[in-house]
């Protein structure tokens, strides 16, 4: 009999997975009201918690889960393709689990561990800010892929494969400064992000400082919370706001290519041109940056290599060959038509 997962219940209730667990387990730390609502949804959907029988059966299969935030981001396509190939090559099953923006990927992973008896986990994309205590709740090996972590995390607590987001971002902004730009706007993650968004923002700040340019908060924009992050739609909405603000700038650095594409669209709609009125730069190296009009200056990440290394490290962890590992790949500054020397 097919039944749904606790993750689905959480989504339906608009609460976290732990809240659902609390409701189920009569945990004191939850309001009667919320609990009643959740139990009703559970009842209505015939959800059966902890189906041990099924877990027992399923424990036979060896499964790797890839938890991905923002699956609609084309940046992940090639990576998923490589993950799939490498994981099946090892005769493991491959589960692709999408995690919503508002979901806690660790909670989702913990539930998946129970329900699917995972052997390993890949966390792909999104901002990743969890306490050591939280990470310790994961009982199977995991690797953070293309999720740069800020220094406050003890490197011995996790494994990761990515580019150096700080350094590559610095490289881009340094290039824009060298093109004579003095007023460079940025579209980055929300300020509480402690992952790639923060690292790329830090690289931006450092480059400005090294070129003795003041940081103008009015040119620092965070992606909109209510729109899929790192998306064209988000870059479009934020850039419209930036343009409407009237604050002067000559270059815009978006921390993802999709954001940059959306930014260009907003600029065109305002009757301005790229790069004559505004230089626009992205980050990632999506194919579209070459095919867009104008082609978009970006930082190209070696996605295949990153994906292959992610799986290599994950299986080294599973086979206890290593306790943790961190690999950083160099990325390439691709100078294209969307950026030019300041007129």
Q: Where are the alpha helices (DSSP H) in 231-293?
A: 232-245, 257-269, 288-291
Which CB atom, from 70 or from 203, has the smaller least distance to a second copy?
70
CB of 227 to a second copy, least distance (A): 12
163 and 147 in contact (C-beta within 8 Å)?
no
Rounded-to-integer distance, Cα 58 and Cα 80, Å: 24
Residue 44 binding a second copy, by CB under 8 A: no
Q: Which stretch binds a second copy (CB under 8 A): 4-12, 32-40, 185-193, 241-249?
A: 4-12
Rounded-to-integer distance, Cα 216 and Cα 196, Å: 21
Rounded-to-integer distance, Cα 120 and Cα 298, Å: 33
Rounded-to-integer distance, Cα 103 and Cα 229, Å: 13
Which CB atom, from 118 or from 194, has the smaller least distance to a second copy?
118
> Mask 54-93, x = binds a second copy (CB under 8 A)?
x--xx-xx-x-------xx-x--xx-xx--xx--xxxxxx
Residue 290 binding a second copy, by CB under 8 A: yes
Q: Which stretch binds a second copy (CB under 8 A): 144-152, 177-185, 217-225, 291-299?
A: 291-299
CB of 45 to a second copy, least distance (A): 10
Rounded-to-integer distance, Cα 214 and Cα 225, Å: 27
Q: State whether the Cα torsion 34-37-40-45 is positive or negative.
A: negative
Residue 268 binding a second copy, by CB under 8 A: yes
- Helices 17-24 and 105-116: crossing angle in degrees, nearest 10, is 50
β-strand pairing of 251-254 with 279-281: parallel
CB of 4 to a second copy, least distance (A): 5
Rounded-to-integer distance, Cα 319 and Cα 83, Å: 18
Contact residues for 4 (Cβ-Cβ < 8 A; gap 6+): 45, 47
The radius of gyration of the chain's CA atoms, rounded to the nearest angstrom, is 22
Residue 40 binding a second copy, by CB under 8 A: no
Task: Please report, as residue ranges, which positions from 105 to 144 form the binding site for a second copy (by CB under 8 A).
Answer: 116
For 308, the token pair is 């292959």
> Mask 304-343, x = binds a second copy (CB under 8 A)?
-----------x----------------------------
Q: Indicate which single residue of 154, 287, 304, 332 sits in contact with a second copy (rule: CB under 8 A).
A: 287
| Total residues interacting with a second copy, rule: CB under 8 A | 49
Q: Which residues bind a second copy (CB under 8 A)?
A: 2-5, 7-8, 54, 57-58, 60-61, 63, 71-72, 74, 77-78, 80-81, 84-85, 88-98, 116, 232-233, 236, 261-262, 264-265, 268, 287-288, 290-294, 315
């Amino acid at each position: 009999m097919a039944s749904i997962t606790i993750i689905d219940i959480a989504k339906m209730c608009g609460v976290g997975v732990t809240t659902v667990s609390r409701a189920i387990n009569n945990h004191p730390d939850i309001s009667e009201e919320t609990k009643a609502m959740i139990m009703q949804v559970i009842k209505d959907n015939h959800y059966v918690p902890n189906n041990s029988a099924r877990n027992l059966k399923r424990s036979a299969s060896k499964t790797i889960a890839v938890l991905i935030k923002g699956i609609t981001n084309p940046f992940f396509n090639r990576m998923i393709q490589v993950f799939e190939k490498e994981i099946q090559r090892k005769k493991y099953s491959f589960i692709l689990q999408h995690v919503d923006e508002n979901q806690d990927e660790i909670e989702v992973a913990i539930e998946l561990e129970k329900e699917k008896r995972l052997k390993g986990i890949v966390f792909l994309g999104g901002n990743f800010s969890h306490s050591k205590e939280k990470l310790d709740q994961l009982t199977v090996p995991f690797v953070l892929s293309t999720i740069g972590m800020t220094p406050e995390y003890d490197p011995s607590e996790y494994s990761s494969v990515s580019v150096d987001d700080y350094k590559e971002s610095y490289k881009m902004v340094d290039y824009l400064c060298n093109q004579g730009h003095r007023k460079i706007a940025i579209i980055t993650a929300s300020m509480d992000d402690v992952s790639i968004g923060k690292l790329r923002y830090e690289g931006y700040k450092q480059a400005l400082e090294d070129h003795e340019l003041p940081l103008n908060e009015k040119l620092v924009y965070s992606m909109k919370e209510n729109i899929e992050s790192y998306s064209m739609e988000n870059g479009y909405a934020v850039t419209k706001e930036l343009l409407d603000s009237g604050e002067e700038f000559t270059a815009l650095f978006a921390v993802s290519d999709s954001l940059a594409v959306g930014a260009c669209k907003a600029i065109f709609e305002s009757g301005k041109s790229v790069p004559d009125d505004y230089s626009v730069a992205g980050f990632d190296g999506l194919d579209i940056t070459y095919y867009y009009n104008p082609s978009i200056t970006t930082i190209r990440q070696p996605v295949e290599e990153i994906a292959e290394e992610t799986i290599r490290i994950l299986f080294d962890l599973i086979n206890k060959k290593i306790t943790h590992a961190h690999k950083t790949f160099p990325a390439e500054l691709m100078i294209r038509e969307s950026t030019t020397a300041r007129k």
